[in-house]
Structure 1
Amino acid sequence: MITASYLYAKKVFHKQIDRTSATNSLYSEVGMHQGSANDYIGVFCSMMEGNGYKRTINAEATRYYLENIKIDYGFNQVQIALEAVSQHTIYYGKLGRGNLRSIEKIVKEFKTQETVSM
């Protein structure tokens, strides 16, 4: 589901398909609930724009999205995506429901990798 959601999110971001069609396709093709599909697409778009987001995707999906943004779009774009994820973890932490430690760890790993790569 994560792989499919990433591929459809890219299409939505690049305006190759509308969001409703993408969420419906994710439901029919891989059984992803339409609400979740919509959230995953929204998170990808926020990552690409560097905007913090409010809906949470799991750590595995966060890692997959960041890895593939790096592969597909390069160093500068993954830096923008990392900023969005960082903003999200700060937002979530302020809600009083705990922190997203596993996602914070992923952000730290990516930032460390990027520092070493420079």
Structure 2
Amino acid sequence: MAAITLVEIRRAFELGIEAHETGTSPSKLKHVLIDELSMTSSSAHGYIETVSHLLNCHCYTRTINAQATEYYLEQITQRYDIPTLKAAVEAVRKHLDYYLSASNNPQHSIRKIYEKYAELCEQNFEYSDLEKAVDIAKRDSSEERLLRLKSAPTKAVLIDARTKLYRRNPDVVAERLYIADGICESCEQPAPFLRKKDNSPYLEVHHIIHLSDDGPDCLDNTEALCPNCHRERHYGLTSPNS
């Protein structure tokens, strides 16, 4: 069977969006790929159908290749909001789990793509969605934040189960950045650059025990890291969570 090309992938994605937005069955659109690009009926149906599965956070059992997986997630990133991307990334995770249980196939190339976009979702939530709340918390003194933290719950609230989205305490983020004072708490080097908005040192607050693993949202479970050390924590061989 000939490999699915980028031309076919792009056309299938557009048809998938059409099917998703209009409620049209992929079976009624697959003829376009068959007639225009000579795709097989099964592949045409699967590549169109997968788009809706991604957008709806549904497990899909038909395999699309790694190039298509990356292209679909890239397009969803550009066209939709972060919650929609989170749903799509979670659908990929469900697909990977399904294949691992059904055939013991880890699909390494697709798993790498999943990890890339899962991290993008995590970073966007932690340092974009929280941004306004952290800025407000920074206006207070360290003493005021610490006083609030004494009585603050440390169990992060799961606000979206399907995409594993947690509501984080902005006081934890603000105070950890204050304690770090612009120095990475792993490599002990200054932050690599300053934020455009306020010239503050750019560090990322990492949970040592992940919230998804029931780690507490508290100062003792966090560290302020430069981007490179943060990625090492998640993906490096020396990561304490590996």
Same fold (TM over 0.5): yes
In the other structure, the counterpart of 1:47 is 54
The higher radius of gyration belongs to: 2
The whole-number CA distance in structure 1 between the counterparts of 2:27 and 2:97 is 29
In the other structure, the counterpart of 2:64 is 57
In the other structure, the counterpart of 1:100 is 107
The RMSD of aligned alpha carbons is: 1.4
| Dislocated runs of 4+, deviation >2 Å | 16-21, 113-118
Q: 1:103/1:23 Cα in 2 relative to 1: closer, same or farther (>3 Å)?
A: same
TM norm structure 2: 0.46
Q: Secondary structure of the equivalent of 1:32?
A: coil
C-alpha offsets along residues 48-88 of structure 1, whole Å, 9 cap, x if unaligned?
11011111100000000000011111211110000000000
Q: Secondary structure of the equivalent of 2:103?
A: coil
Higher strand share: 2
**Residue type of the partner of 2:48?**
I
8 Å Cα contact 2:85-2:121 kept in structure 1: no
8 Å Cα contact 2:66-2:109 kept in structure 1: yes
Bigger relative CO (Cα 8 Å, ≥ 6 apart): 1
**Residue type of the partner of 1:105?**
K
8 Å Cα contact 2:57-2:90 kept in structure 1: yes
Asked if 1:78 corresponds to 2:85, the answer is yes
The whole-number CA distance in structure 2 between the counterparts of 1:16 and 1:45 is 10
Structure 2, gaps ≥5 residues long: 1-7, 128-242
Q: Secondary structure of the equivalent of 2:22?
A: coil
In the other structure, the counterpart of 2:200 is none
- Residue 2 of structure 1 and its aligned partner are, at CA, apart by 0.2
In the other structure, the counterpart of 2:44 is 37
Q: Equivalent pairs: percent with the same residue?
A: 28
The whole-number CA distance in structure 1 between the counterparts of 2:46 and 2:26 is 11
Higher helix share: 1
Q: 1:87/1:18 Cα in 2 relative to 1: closer, same or farther (>3 Å)?
A: closer
The whole-number CA distance in structure 2 between the counterparts of 1:38 and 1:32 is 9
Asked if 1:68 corresponds to 2:75, the answer is yes
